[in-house]
Amino acid sequence: MVGCLPKDPSDKRKERDMEFHTGDQPEEGRYRCKNCGYIVRITSDTEKLPACPNCGHHEFEKLEDED
Ligand SMILES: [Zn+2]
């Protein structure tokens, strides 16, 4: 699965492991908008993070407490 990822300019400054952006294709799980707290659920590992449906922000953090 590794090798054909799109170029990510934020890759060189890895300040946080848990940060994701619009257009990223993370694993399944819940991602919380860092601006408004809206939670986006990703249900497939081919699904891409959208812009926040609530506020249009592009930064998310992953929630680990998945039930
Ligand atoms: Zn938001």
For 11-62, the pLDDT digits (tens) are 555 445 689 999 999 999 999 999 999 999 999 989 999 999 999 999 999 9
Domain assignment present for residue 10? The answer is no
Cα 52 to ligand 1 centroid, rounded to whole Å: 5
**How many domains does the chain divide into?**
1
Domain assignment present for residue 32? The answer is yes
Residue pair 19/59 in contact (Cβ under 8 Å)? The answer is yes
> What CATH number is associated with residue 59?
2.20.28
Cα 14 to ligand 1 centroid, rounded to whole Å: 22
Which structural domain range is residue 35 located in?
17-63
26/9 Cα distance (integer angstroms):
16
Domain assignment present for residue 2? The answer is no
Domain assignment present for residue 5? The answer is no
Cα 62 to ligand 1 centroid, rounded to whole Å: 14
Q: What's the pLDDT score for residue 10?
A: 54
Q: What is the pTM of this model?
A: 0.70
Domain assignment present for residue 4? The answer is no
pLDDT at 8 over 70: no
Domain assignment present for residue 39? The answer is yes
Q: Are strands 29-33 and 39-42 parallel, antiparallel or unpaired?
A: antiparallel
Cα 67 to ligand 1 centroid, rounded to whole Å: 22
